[in-house]
Amino acid sequence: MAKQIAYSFFKECTSLHNAKLLHQQTIISGSCKDRAIDIISMYLSCECPSYALTVLEHLQPSPSLVYWWNALIKRNVHLGLYNDSLNLFYRMTALGWTADHYTYPFVLKACAEIPDTRRGRIVHAVICNYGFESNVFVCNSLVAMYARCGALVDGRKMFDEMCQRGVTDKVSWNSIVAAYMQSRDSDEALILFMRMTRNVKLLPDVVSLVNILPAFASSGSWEHGRQVHGLAVRNGLFDDVFVGNAILNMYAKCKMMDQAKKVFDVMEDKDVVTWNGMVTAYSQSGSFKDALLLVEKMKEKRIEMDVVTWSAVIAGYAQRGHGCEALDVFRQMQISGSVPNVVTLVSLLSGCATAGALLQGKETHCYSMKRILKREGVDREEDKMVNNTLIDMYAKCQDVSSARCIFDSLTFIERNVVTWTAMIGGYAQHGDAKDSMKLFSEMMRGSSTPNAFTISCVLMACSRLSALRSGKEIHAYALRNRYENSMLRVANCLIDMYSKCGDVDAARNVFDNMKQRNDVSWISLMTGYGMHGRGEDALEYFDGMLKEGFVPDGLTFVVVLYACSHSGMVDQAIDYFNNMTKDFGVIPQVEHYACMVDVLGRAGRLNEAVELINRMPMEPSQIVWVALLSACKTHTNVELGELASKKLLEMDSENDGSYTLLSNIYADAGCWNDVARIRSLMKKSGIRKRPGYSCVQGKKGNTTFFVGDRSHPQSEQIYKVLADLILRIKELGYIPKTSYALHDVADEEKNDLLSEHSEKLALAYGILTSYLGAPIRIIKNLRICGDCHSAITFISKIVDHEIIVRDPSRFHHFKKGSCSCKGAGGLVQNASSSDGEVTTISDGYWRSDSCGNGAFLENDKAVLLVAAEGSSWPITVPIHELQAIEIGLELARAGKTFWVGLSLFMNQIRGSLGSSTAKPVYEAHRCGLLLLQPKQRNAVLAAAQECAYPGLSSFSSSSRHLISQPSHSYGHEATFHVLKCSSILSIYGVCLTYSNPLFPYSR
């Protein structure tokens, strides 16, 4: 009875003070050893393990008392005091105690949680020494320990030894499957699961199914997942909420939302994890409305939304670019009292980045510093995740300096590949691309290895800088390191890089060698062809894209129309625009209308462009009016230019380019008072015109020049080379286009201003420093002016270099006196009736209308061209007026029907006629090929009198029978005179039919 009373005292004792009194009484009474177990239990009940340990250490080792050592070790493991657990184990063995099979699982768990493979191996050796290597519980713990410590090879070796000894059970198989799942080797996990169920014939339990279902989700093997679903239903495991949640998650990650919804609906027992899983599934699959409806149902059913639910909703908004909505949800979360975790903050920062909400991003940064960053007990990986997202947020909000401050505050150990990529990408997209390249070089010198995203970001920087050499080096690095899993992304960036660096053929080679392509691959190459003026190639690949089964979207048609615009393919552009809805179900948006305005504007069809704007079903945006304004500048249309400018001002446009374009239109028209007014308005509005500059790639990097720049050490040589070039091309017929010197000064001073344009200086430097035959690459921040375009076209005739100029609009490839833009950068742009297609003819350009009529332009000068009906182009090489007349006469003699257009330059006509060429002019006159205005007629007569050629005394009598068309101003100096005639030529007896290349009509 006394013993029972004493036992009840020990059991009911809950305070340390009373426990010490009872312990004192047992010592006084001499019953301490008999009551040792009760005393240890009492101290543990009072949460005083140190006193219990003291008593235990004074006892003789006994197998029956090992339980209390196990209790102390287990207690520390549950409290997360893993090192204390191991110290207890060491103390136990040092005192001569022998651990049993219950001790080792707790000790091994402590090693796994630290994790500490070294101490785990020591414990493994002790286990083998004491003969526990065949105990299934101990062996299962060893497998789990090795897996948690990242030593999966050792864990697998342990499991295989267990299989050989035949000591495995269901827990063993679950442990090894879980180990492979933790190491993200789902394929091997599936193989082991199949062995377990088919070879070993073990029936899976709840843990087995919860372990393996994520493997089906990650591999997308929904067929096998459905089989496991059926197995769970047949064996009554589906009712377990953990299994149900795992099956729901599997279907969701396999993008089978209908099946996931069915599982959700039939689950009788749902917990908050079930609801969160469904909300997250809807959010990630794009069914965000369904996710929000489910959240409302949670509120109706009074299911408390936890941090996972809130985070899923915030992430859903952020991923769709709805940053403001994400911020609103976060405020609701704070009001509800739910505490954000790392995932919440990362999602919120992503939302701030997409919305450009810098202020809210800074607030979130402050919150992160208080609650997450560098706090005790917080995983350092979580710190990295938050810091990386902060760098990304600041960069995307265009505060690159703050992003760099965070980056610099991190040590090399604290930076991972995501950190480097975020900063490199920030510079590449929103900062100085040169800094992006420098940072990549710094990364390569360190211990971090770039991934496919890093390569993509640095290729973007190469694109911005047109750094072809660096781009090729990075391409080589990507090939050596073979980013197989992400090669599609890298290849798409390579296509973009090569295209923007001026080597679209290399871009095509990358495309042709791709094993797999997506719509981005096709669109990137088509864009490249478009910006290089190779519209036919772009449309060819568009047809190829359709044949491959890709369905074009709105972006695809923006690229198609862009390519047509930069290649003068007006009819094709109109056809695609009119049929994109009927053939492909794509409704034209404002971007498509802007492209069409650009297409029509470049072709000089400004009235049609205005009519299209008036017919737009939506309000025209700034890009539409900018396109029209640019066309007005090209064709010097002051009235429409003022209209477009007025619309832009009404939209509060602060783009300096709009003001500059209008100012240039006024300057072209000689309205200098209006030029002064626009410049004054810009000054009052605080809008500053961007200074134009050109950057040329040299042997040791890029060199930048501004207008009239004399800061370069080789400035004297550069200007000397440029002066020599200008002198030489003037001998070839180059005439400075003083209309592009937008200042009210004398013509001589305008010539000096034109010669100091930055692109000319960059070209002179490139010629001075480049190897013979090497291409010269120039990047210009503003569009190339017409005079520089004309001058570089002439220069390309006399230098052995291909000259590649990239401006914000397109690429210009100058070679042997021609440009890839086919005149779109020179005189043709200034023609008020250039409403047709442009095709290259040898060293010149043929511009034709929809009827096939045309005019030939050589080096931006209009010259005569004769074309025979039914003949293919080119009929002639670049020719001059008199040569064309001779060819026309030969065609007449051969019985061909032909047409002819003629241009004669007012200030050069006297020098065009000499004794050797007077006869064909006379014969052309007699055949009715020439129709001249009075001033031109007088000039020809004067030239004829000088060379004393008879028969050229009068033109009027022989030209009366001709049906004359009105003369048409083409450019600044050339005047075309085209006529229609149905008369029979008496001297050759050939019927001639004429048509007008500038005013088409039916024949």
pLDDT tens for residues 362-421?
988 998 888 777 666 556 778 888 999 999 999 999 999 999 999 999 988 889 999 999
Q: What is the dihedral angle through the alpha carbons of 209, 212, 214, 216, rounded to the nearest 10 degrees?
A: -110
Q: What is the CA radius of gyration of the chain?
A: 41
pLDDT tens for residues 328-343?
888 888 888 888 888 8
Residue 895 · residue 860 · CB < 8 Å: no
The amino acid present at 683, given as its one-letter code, is K
pLDDT tens for residues 199-244?
888 889 999 999 999 988 888 888 888 999 998 999 899 999 999 9
pLDDT of residue 686: 62
pTM for the model stands at: 0.65
Length of the chain, in residues: 1003
- Between CA 887 and CA 130 the distance in angstroms is 109
Question: Given pLDDT bands bounded at 50, 70 and 90, which one contains residue 906?
Answer: very low
Q: Tell me: pLDDT of 725 over 50.
A: yes
Residue 882 · residue 918 · CB < 8 Å: no
- Between CA 349 and CA 399 the distance in angstroms is 14
pLDDT of residue 108: 94
Average model confidence (pLDDT) across the chain:
77
Q: Which residue has the higher pLDDT, 493 or 35?
A: 493
**Bridging pattern class, strands 968-970 and 837-841:** unpaired
**Beta partners for 812?**
805
pLDDT of residue 612: 93
Question: Given pLDDT bands bounded at 50, 70 and 90, which one contains residue 655?
Answer: low
pLDDT tens for residues 350-375?
888 888 888 888 988 998 888 777 66
- Between CA 735 and CA 861 the distance in angstroms is 10
For 162-171, 484-493, 713-722, 840-849, which range has the lowest pLDDT when averaged over its residues? 840-849
Q: What is the dihedral angle through the alpha carbons of 280, 188, 385, 489, rounded to the nearest 10 degrees?
A: -90
Least Cα distance to 389 among 428, 433, 345 occurs for 345
pLDDT of residue 425: 94
Q: Tell me: pLDDT of 939 over 70.
A: no
pLDDT tens for residues 275-306?
988 988 888 887 888 888 888 898 888 888 88
Per-residue pLDDT, averaged over 426-453, amounts to 90
Cβ atoms within 10 A of the Cβ of 100, count? 16
Residue 326 · residue 283 · CB < 8 Å: no
Cβ atoms within 10 A of the Cβ of 916, count? 9
| Six-digit token string for 777 | 């690459």
Please work out, in degrees rounded to the nearest 5, the angle formed at the alpha carbon of residue 74 by the alpha carbons of 71 and 78.
135
- 823's CB contacts (< 8 A; 6+ apart) are 829, 838, 845, 847, 857, 860
The H-or-E segment that residue 536 falls in is helix 535-547
Top mean-pLDDT range of 151-155, 627-631, 849-853, 910-914: 151-155
Residue 213 Cα distances to 142, 269, 503, angstroms = 24, 19, 49
Top mean-pLDDT range of 161-175, 313-327, 730-744: 161-175
Q: Tell me: pLDDT of 825 over 50.
A: no
In the three-class reduction of DSSP (H, G, I as helix; E, B as strand; rest coil), residue 1 is classed as coil
Question: Given pLDDT bands bounded at 50, 70 and 90, which one contains residue 558?
Answer: very high
The amino acid present at 408, given as its one-letter code, is D
pLDDT of residue 588: 93
- 20's CB contacts (< 8 A; 6+ apart) are none
- 864's CB contacts (< 8 A; 6+ apart) are 856, 879, 880, 881, 883, 884, 885, 900, 901, 902, 903
The H-or-E segment that residue 389 falls in is helix 380-396
pLDDT of residue 54: 84
pLDDT of residue 861: 36
pLDDT of residue 313: 86
Largest CA distance in the chain: 156
Q: Tell me: pLDDT of 876 over 50.
A: no
- Percentage of the chain with pLDDT > 70? 74
Q: Tell me: pLDDT of 915 over 70.
A: no
Q: Which residue has the higher pLDDT, 954 or 121?
A: 121
- Between CA 503 and CA 497 the distance in angstroms is 9
Q: Which residue has the higher pLDDT, 35 or 987?
A: 35
Please work out, in degrees rounded to the nearest 5, the angle formed at the alpha carbon of residue 854 by the alpha carbons of 851 and 860.
150
pLDDT of residue 300: 87
Q: Tell me: pLDDT of 732 over 50.
A: yes
Question: Given pLDDT bands bounded at 50, 70 and 90, which one contains residue 248?
Answer: very high
Per-residue pLDDT, averaged over 103-125, amounts to 92
In the three-class reduction of DSSP (H, G, I as helix; E, B as strand; rest coil), residue 73 is classed as helix
pLDDT tens for residues 941-984?
555 555 444 443 333 333 322 222 333 322 222 222 332 222 22
Q: Tell me: pLDDT of 170 over 80.
A: yes
Fold of 589-689: 1.25.40
Per-residue pLDDT, averaged over 592-607, amounts to 91
In the three-class reduction of DSSP (H, G, I as helix; E, B as strand; rest coil), residue 144 is classed as helix
Token pair 């193989």 is found at 191
**Bridging pattern class, strands 776-780 and 693-698:** antiparallel
**Bridging pattern class, strands 776-780 and 803-806:** parallel
Question: Given pLDDT bands bounded at 50, 70 and 90, which one contains residue 744?
Answer: very low
Q: Tell me: pLDDT of 833 over 60.
A: no
Q: Tell me: pLDDT of 529 over 90.
A: yes
Q: Which residue has the higher pLDDT, 795 or 372?
A: 795
- Between CA 563 and CA 605 the distance in angstroms is 18
Question: Given pLDDT bands bounded at 50, 70 and 90, which one contains residue 659?
Answer: low
Question: Given pLDDT bands bounded at 50, 70 and 90, which one contains residue 807?
Answer: confident
- Structural domain spans, the chain: 433-515, 517-576, 589-689, 693-819
- Between CA 511 and CA 417 the distance in angstroms is 28
Q: Tell me: pLDDT of 739 over 90.
A: no
Q: Tell me: pLDDT of 664 over 70.
A: no
